[in-house]
Chains A and B, each alone.
Chain A
């Protein structure tokens, strides 16, 4: 089955700087990659996703890149703000299998 690895497990960034979280996946047939943000004590919420037919997608301060050859994808947050502090999860899915496999999460702390 699919295996998703996520790094780093914790990340501290000065407010205003950029943060990058990286994930690798094992199943070359995976073709959908969402990112979820989970604030303390709350539910995971989808913040951005990318499909395998594109290499990059951007939504304001958040962007995701995908390298299918290397089987890795990354979340980029620019101009970080205190409200970006949360745990971020990447996930991968092969359409047809219909089962999201999540990474282990990255705890992002924005230092004011």
Chain B
């Protein structure tokens, strides 16, 4: 099993551009979480899905952020338009069951830099 796959691993873009981050969960995992990590704010949960349905998006910072999970094998996090303060590492994590008390497996992350 390849683990959680994220792409791209690095993204550099200019302010105002649209950014799309992608995540492929481990096969058979039915919960997926998007996190943002910065030095100032640490690890923040943005949104999570269970069986492709968004359960809690209260961590999404503002309307510029949106996330989708069209099927069990794929999720996207989109920022439109991007701003320099969005620069961070974005992690996707998945787990097998629908209980967060199961082990969450993190992807390698996408390092986003917005100039």
B contact residues around A83 at 8 Å (CB): none
Roughly how many angstroms separate A67 CA and B106 CA in the complex, as a whole number?
28
Range of interface residues on A (Cβ < 8 Å): 20 to 34
The answer, among A43, A89, A100, for a CB contact under 8 Å with B109, is A43
Number of B interface residues at 8 Å Cβ cutoff, please give it.
20
A71 at the interface (CB under 8 A from B): no
A103 touches B100 (CB 8 A): no
CA distance A12 to B108 in the complex (A): 27
B115 on the A face (CB < 8 A): no
Give Cα distance in the complex from A32 to B43, angstroms: 17
Known: A93-B101, A95-B101, A99-B100. A43 touches B42 (CB 8 A): no
Which residues in B have their C-beta under 8 angstroms from that of A25? Answer: none
Could you list which residues of chain B lie within 8 angstroms of chain A, going by C-beta atoms?
33, 42-45, 48, 50, 55-56, 59, 91, 99-101, 103-104, 106-109
